[in-house]
Copies of this chain bind each other. A is one copy, B any other.
Amino acid sequence: MSADLLSHIRIVLSHTSHPGNIGATARAMKTMGIASLYLINPKKFPDAEADARASGAVDVLRRARVCNSLNEALQGTVHALAVSARRRELAYASTDARSAAQALVAAAREGEVAIVFGTEMSGLTNEEILQCRAAAHIPADPVCSSLNLAAAVQVMAYEARIAALGATEAPPGESPSARHEDVENFYTHLEQSLLASGFLDPANPKRLLPRLRRMFGRIRMEQEEVNILRGMLNSFRK
C-alpha cells in the first residue's frame, strides 16, 4: 500500500447545511488516512460544533479549503467521483462504491482525485454530477437509502483505503504456529488419554478420532497452546 495514493485523494462537500457533519466528515477521513477537505459554500464554517464532532481531526478542518464552486474544488484533479444515494436520469451509469473506489485509487497514481458529496437533504445536483467523471452509489436498503453525510464519507473513505492497501490483510499470527509433529504428538496423547478414560472404545472407535481432528484442526494451534492442552491431559490422568 502507498500512503501516497491516499494523499492524492480529496473529499469535497457541496453546500453542507450542518457544521456537525463537516466535523464528523473530518474525523471519518482522518481515520482512513485522508487529510484533504474541500468545502463548497458551507452554510456555517468554521463552527464550534464542527470542531466538537471532529474530535482528533480538527487539523483537517483547519486546513480545509473553502471554495465557491465545484469547478473550483476540482481544479487539478484527474478523476472525480460523484457519490449519490439515488440514480438519476441524466447522470452516468452509477457503479457500486467498491468498484468506484478501486477505479479512483487507480487514477490516484496519476494525480489528484476527488470524491464529491452533495447536501444532506438533496444530494448532488445533476449539474454537479456531470462535472464529475463518474458516479457511485453505496448499495443501501431501498427502504431507507439515505446515509448520514459523514457516514457516507466513512464508507467511501474506507473503500478507498482498502483499495489503496491493495488487499485484505492476512490475520496476524501472534505466537509461533505449532509444527506438524507437535500437533501429531498431541493427537497421540489425546487418543491415549481417551483410551485410558474409557471414552474411546478400541473395539468400537466409531468416528471419534477423525471428528476430534476435524475440530482441533480448525484451531490452527500455536506451540504454546499445544503445551497447555497436553498439560491438561496429563492432569486428568493423575
Residues of A within 8 A of B (CB): 24, 27-28, 30-33, 55-57, 87, 93-96, 98-99, 138-141, 143-148, 150-151, 154-155, 158, 161-162, 165, 168-169, 171-174, 193-194, 197-199, 208, 211-212, 215-216, 218-221, 225, 228-229, 231-232, 235-238
Q: CA of A106 to CA of B93 in the docked complex: distance in angstroms?
A: 31
List 4 extra interface pairs beyond A33-B143, A96-B169, A154-B155, CB under 8 A: A28-B148, A93-B174, A151-B154, A236-B236
Asked whether B147 lies within 8 Å of A197 as measured between CB atoms, the reply is no
Asked whether B93 lies within 8 Å of A146 as measured between CB atoms, the reply is no
Asked whether A215 lies within 8 Å of B211 as measured between CB atoms, the reply is no
Q: CA of A57 to CA of B144 in the docked complex: distance in angstroms?
A: 8
Point out the residues of chain B lying under 8 angstroms from A140, CB to CB. Answer: 31-33, 161
Given A215-B219, A236-B236, A148-B199 contact (CB < 8 Å)? no
Nearest residue, chain B, Cβ from A142: B33
Asked whether A218 lies within 8 Å of B219 as measured between CB atoms, the reply is yes
Q: In the assembly, how many copies of this chain are there? A: 2
Nearest residue, chain B, Cβ from A173: B93
Point out the residues of chain B lying under 8 angstroms from A232, CB to CB. Answer: 194, 197, 199
Q: CA of A197 to CA of B197 in the docked complex: distance in angstroms?
A: 14
* Distance in Å: Cβ of A107 to nearest Cβ of chain B: 13
**Which of B31, B211, B221 has a CB less than 8 Å from the CB of A147?**
B31
Pairs A-B, 4 closest by C-beta atoms: A199-B235, A33-B141, A236-B236, A197-B235
Give the residue among A94, A95, A197 with the most B Cβ atoms within 10 A: A197
Nearest residue, chain B, Cβ from A158: B155
Nearest residue, chain B, Cβ from A200: B235
Asked whether A139 lies within 8 Å of B155 as measured between CB atoms, the reply is no
Given A173-B93, A218-B219, A221-B215, A27-B231 contact (CB < 8 Å)? no
**Which of B158, B221, B225 has a CB less than 8 Å from the CB of A138?**
B158
Point out the residues of chain B lying under 8 angstroms from A162, CB to CB. Answer: 98, 139
Point out the residues of chain B lying under 8 angstroms from A228, CB to CB. Answer: 208, 211-212, 215
Point out the residues of chain B lying under 8 angstroms from A218, CB to CB. Answer: 218-220
